[in-house]
């Protein structure tokens, strides 16, 4: 997997709600997980036109407690479906897990990052090392990346692919019965 | 090196000493799933060709999010759930009328004991901390837990809270608890287990202990639990068959932080829209007209909560423009409420009883609100849409404040009704 994303910055504030801001609330109770559906409603609570504006490898930069609320995965699957990266000042742990589960490259502990860039800036982010470069401003910052184990899950494409791989491994070992 | 209760529990499960920060794959003593996810986990397992669970005798399923099917599609879903339970040979299935809310009745039945480790499809499994069990939510990954027996977790750090002081009249543990999670703050609570002890613990009943273990996860806590004390053992004794293993942290355990928290909160507390941490004194929101009120949920559906509500509602009538729903969390609580005359009080004042379970708090699948309406309730969360429409305002408060507000037709300080 190429961990380096180069694209435009899309900046948001603090406390974006995982259900009402990041996606359509109903998707959680419907357990909707289809990328082609979720991508169309990415960030619809704050900007309904967002999916039309962004390009693959653009980067969402947000403040504290991104994706707060009941830890449903749909909002994070929507971001991953648009092939975006995510850089936030903080993210509650349930949504942190779900970012990994969604296969979404992200940096979760970026104190003050919203002061480092504005919407429209050209960014280059290496999600495996935590280095964020603002190419428009010519600045560079370093943050804590996810752990090796977590990056491995993201590289596979998220929880579903990791689960399939674990099942195959356990079958091969004879730990669980064959299909 | 000393250990916290959480490290001790996970060390027992892993059969080796573990410490906070380690990534481990612990096999839980029990896995719980609620009625609204059974069809989904079955689909996820079918996609991987999984036909057997890791251990179907360790799986508990409860019909609590929508105990009474309200339309033909849901009746069909319930039928599917029963077939899936049979297919996998799941032995601990508590259908409608058999248990109630899955975060509570397994404690009443003596299934949950101090030192146990549970993974669950639903965030509020942390309630099991009321009896010293470590309950950790595992939402999206629960099919992996069911099929493989585990899933990765990082051993959480512990925030130790020593409870001190005493409750003032008209103030409940819910008031203190929702204030406390804001005071301790998200940075401390995030991915931590909150461990309660301290001199005031002996004065807190089982219902209050569940509330204490329920609220912190709304601010990002991984779980919460109460150290074993005499009151916990007394509650467990008639329910648990085997020996009870008390759980306490070592004196030299390393905590992320330690708080002394005084129960002497001066004013009832209300969480205003749009988040559970938007907590203010009741005087700040008093006078806001309400249409909908609800007492119940895994945060406040205990017998002690129903007694609190009845203490206000006895001999009074609900305001004409308000509908009040009361949900005893479990079958046992409903029986006790009947025996104690509480249900008579509720029905006479104009409230409606709903089936044991989550009540309206489970996404407003029953008794939702309409756009433009205002609810005050004892549920777990007040995000827009928690009770159906996103265009309603939801306030969270204690059973006393909710009951008094239902009588007044607006948010009020319950102390003048006592």
Give the dihedral sign, CA B377/B380/B381/B385. negative
Q: Is B56 on the interface with A (CB under 8 A)?
A: no
The answer as to whether A101 is a domain residue is yes
Query: What pLDDT is stored for residue A41 in this prediction?
Result: 96
Over residues A143-169, mean pLDDT? 94
CA distance B383 to B366: 17
Whether the predicted pLDDT of B373 surpasses 80: yes
B226, B132 contact by CB (below 8 A)? yes
Query: What pLDDT is stored for residue B364 in this prediction?
Result: 86
Rounded (10°) angle between helices B331-339 and B303-313: 40
Q: Where are the alpha helices (H) located in B185-246, listed in sequence order?
A: 186-189, 206-214, 230-236
Residue among B319, B305, B414 at smallest CA distance from B374: B319
To the nearest whole Å, the CA of A59 is away from the closest chain B CA by 24
- Mutate which: A93, A144, A168, vs B, most B CBs within 10 A: A93
Which of B37, B140, B152 is opposite residue A98, by nearest beta carbon?
A: B140
Query: What pLDDT is stored for residue A30 in this prediction?
Result: 85
| pLDDT range class, residue A1, cuts 50, 70, 90 | confident
Query: What pLDDT is stored for residue B266 in this prediction?
Result: 83
- Mark which residues 64-123 of A lie under 8 Å from B by CB: 64-65, 68-73, 90, 92-94, 96-98, 101
Domain map of chain B by residue range? 23-153, 156-241+250-266, 270-417
CA distance B132 to A19: 32
Query: What pLDDT is stored for residue B1 in this prediction?
Result: 82
Report the percentage of chain A scoring pLDDT > 70: 99
Place of tokens 């490290």: B7
The answer as to whether A168 is a domain residue is no
| pLDDT range class, residue B136, cuts 50, 70, 90 | very high
Check B383 against A15: CB less than 8 A apart: no
Q: Is A30 on the interface with B (CB under 8 A)?
A: no
Whether the predicted pLDDT of A179 surpasses 80: no
Q: Alpha carbon B100 to chain centroid distance? A: 13
Check A163 against B144: CB less than 8 A apart: yes
Q: In the 8-state DSSP scheme, what is residue B25? A: -
| Contacting residues for B139 by C-beta, under 8 A, at least 6 apart | A71, A72, A73, A94, A97, A98, B121, B122, B123
The answer as to whether A59 is a domain residue is yes
Query: What pLDDT is stored for residue A63 in this prediction?
Result: 97
Say which CATH number the domain at A121 has.
Answer: 3.20.19.10
Whether the predicted pLDDT of B2 surpasses 90: yes
Residues B85-106, buried b or exposed e (16+ Cβ, 10 A)? Answer: beebebebbbebeebbbbbbbb
Selecting from 3.30.499.10, 1.10.3720.10, 3.40.50.2020, 3.30.420.40, what CATH number does the domain B270-417 have? Answer: 3.30.499.10
The answer as to whether A178 is a domain residue is no
| pLDDT range class, residue B357, cuts 50, 70, 90 | very high
How far the first Cα of chain B sits from its last, in Å, is 50
Query: What pLDDT is stored for residue B139 in this prediction?
Result: 83
CATH topology match: B156-241+250-266 vs B270-417? no
| Contacting residues for B256 by C-beta, under 8 A, at least 6 apart | B20, B157, B158, B159, B188, B192
Q: Is B124 on the interface with A (CB under 8 A)?
A: no
Which of A65, A147, A177 is opposite residue B186, by nearest beta carbon?
A: A65
Over residues B12-17, mean pLDDT? 98
The answer as to whether A122 is a domain residue is yes
Residues of chain A contacting B143 with CB distance shorter than 8 Å = 163
Neighbours of B80 (CB within 10 A): 13
A94, B139 contact by CB (below 8 A)? yes
Whether the predicted pLDDT of A70 surpasses 90: no
Whether the predicted pLDDT of B72 surpasses 90: yes
- pLDDT one-digit tens code per residue, B295-349: 999 999 999 999 999 999 999 999 999 999 999 999 999 999 999 999 999 999 9
| pLDDT range class, residue B44, cuts 50, 70, 90 | very high
Over residues A71-81, mean pLDDT? 95
Task: List the single residue in B with minimal CA-CA distance to A21.
Answer: B384
Return mean pLDDT, chain B. Answer: 96
Whether the predicted pLDDT of B269 surpasses 80: yes
Check A20 against B363: CB less than 8 A apart: no
Over residues B221-226, mean pLDDT? 96
Query: What pLDDT is stored for residue A28 in this prediction?
Result: 86
Query: What pLDDT is stored for residue A31 in this prediction?
Result: 85
Query: What pLDDT is stored for residue A71 in this prediction?
Result: 85
Over residues A74-101, mean pLDDT? 95
Over residues B217-230, mean pLDDT? 95
| pLDDT range class, residue A7, cuts 50, 70, 90 | very high
Query: What pLDDT is stored for residue B220 in this prediction?
Result: 86
> Which residues are bridge partners to A60 per DSSP?
A10, A86
| Domain B23-153 in CATH 3.40.50.300 | no
Structural domain total, chain A: 1
CA distance B378 to B300: 6
- 3-state SS class at B409: coil
Query: What pLDDT is stored for residue A175 in this prediction?
Result: 83
Look at strands A59-62 and A85-88 and give their pairing. parallel
CA distance A39 to B239: 50
Phi-psi region of B355 (alpha: psi -120 to 50; beta: other; left: phi over 0): beta
Check B148 against A170: CB less than 8 A apart: yes
CA distance B84 to B53: 11
Over residues B283-306, mean pLDDT? 98
The answer as to whether A92 is a domain residue is yes
The answer as to whether A165 is a domain residue is no
CA distance B159 to B71: 44
Query: What pLDDT is stored for residue B199 in this prediction?
Result: 98
Over residues A100-106, mean pLDDT? 97
CA distance B321 to A52: 45
| pLDDT range class, residue B214, cuts 50, 70, 90 | very high
| pLDDT range class, residue A174, cuts 50, 70, 90 | confident
Whether the predicted pLDDT of A178 surpasses 80: no
- pLDDT one-digit tens code per residue, A15-62: 999 988 999 988 988 889 999 999 999 999 999 999 999 999 999 999
To the nearest whole Å, the CA of A137 is away from the closest chain B CA by 30
Over residues A116-126, mean pLDDT? 98
Q: Which domain holds residue A91?
A: 4-147
Selecting from 3.40.1060.10, 3.40.50.620, 3.30.470.20, 3.30.230.70, what CATH number does the domain B156-241+250-266 have? Answer: 3.40.1060.10
- Mutate which: B142, B214, B220, B364, vs A, most A CBs within 10 A: B220
Neighbours of B193 (CB within 10 A): 29
- 3-state SS class at B241: coil
ipTM score assigned to the predicted complex: 0.83
């Amino acid at each position: 997997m190429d961990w380096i994303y180069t694209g435009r910055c899309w900046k948001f504030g603090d406390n974006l709600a995982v259900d009402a801001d990041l996606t359509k609330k109903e998707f959680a109770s419907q357990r909707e997980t289809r990328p082609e559906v979720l991508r169309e409603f990415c960030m619809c609570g704050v900007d309904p036109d967002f999916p039309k504006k962004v390009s693959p490898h653009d980067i969402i930069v947000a403040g504290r407690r991104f994706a707060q609320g009941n830890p449903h995965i749909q909002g994070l699957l929507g971001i991953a479906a648009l092939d975006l990266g995510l850089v936030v000042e903080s993210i509650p742990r349930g949504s942190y897990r779900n970012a990994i589960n969604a296969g979404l490259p992200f940096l979760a502990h970026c104190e003050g990052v919203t002061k480092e860039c504005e919407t429209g800036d050209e960014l280059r982010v290496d999600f495996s090392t935590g280095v964020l470069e603002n190419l428009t401003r010519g600045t560079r910052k370093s943050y804590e990346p996810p752990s090796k184990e977590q990056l491995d899950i993201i590289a596979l494409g998220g929880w579903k692919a990791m689960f399939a791989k674990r099942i195959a491994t356990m079958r091969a070992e004879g730990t669980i019965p064959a299909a | 090196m000393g250990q916290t209760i959480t490290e001790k529990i996970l060390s027992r499960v892993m059969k080796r000493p573990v410490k906070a920060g380690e990534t481990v794959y612990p096999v839980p003593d029990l896995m719980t799933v609620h009625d609204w996810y059974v069809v989904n986990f079955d689909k996820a397992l079918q996609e991987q060709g999984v036909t057997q669970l890791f251990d179907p005798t360790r799986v508990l399923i409860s019909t609590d999010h929508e105990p009474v099917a309200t339309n033909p599609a849901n009746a069909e879903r319930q039928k599917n759930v029963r077939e899936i339970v049979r297919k996998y040979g799941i032995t601990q299935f508590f259908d409608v009328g058999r248990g109630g809310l899955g975060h509570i009745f397994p404690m009443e039945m003596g299934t949950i004991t101090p030192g146990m480790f549970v993974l669950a499809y639903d965030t509020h499994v942390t309630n099991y901390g009321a009896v010293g069990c470590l309950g950790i939510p595992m939402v999206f990954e629960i099919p992996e837990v069911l099929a493989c027996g585990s899933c990765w977790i990082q051993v959480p750090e512990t925030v130790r809270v020593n409870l001190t002081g005493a409750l003032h009249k008209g103030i409940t543990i819910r008031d203190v608890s929702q204030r406390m999670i804001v005071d301790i703050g998200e940075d401390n609570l995030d991915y931590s287990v909150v461990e309660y002890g301290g001199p005031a613990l002996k004065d807190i009943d089982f219902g209050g202990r569940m509330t204490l273990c329920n609220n912190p996860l709304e601010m990002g806590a991984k779980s919460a639990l109460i150290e074993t004390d005499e009151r916990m053992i007394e509650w467990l004794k008639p329910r648990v068959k085997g020996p009870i293993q008390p759980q306490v942290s070592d004196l030299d355990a390393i905590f992320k932080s330690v708080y002394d928290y005084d129960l002497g909160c001066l004013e009832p507390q209300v969480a205003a829209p749009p988040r559970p941490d938007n907590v203010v004194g009741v005087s700040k929101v008093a006078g806001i007209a309400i249409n909908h009120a609800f007492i119940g949920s895994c945060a406040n559906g205990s017998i002690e909560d129903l007694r609190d509500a009845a203490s206000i509602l006895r001999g009074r009538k609900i305001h004409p423009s308000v509908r009040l729903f009361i949900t005893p969390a479990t079958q046992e609580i409903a029986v006790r409420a009947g025996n104690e005359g509480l249900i008579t009080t509720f029905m006479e004042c104009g409230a409606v009883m709903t089936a044991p379970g989550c009540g309206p708090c489970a996404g407003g699948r029953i008794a939702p609100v309409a756009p433009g309406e205002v609810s005050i309730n004892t549920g777990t969360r007040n995000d827009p849409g928690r009770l159906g429409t996103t265009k309603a305002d939801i306030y969270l408060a204690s059973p006393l404040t909710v009951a008094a507000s239902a009588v007044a037709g607006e948010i009020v300080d319950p102390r003048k009704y006592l």
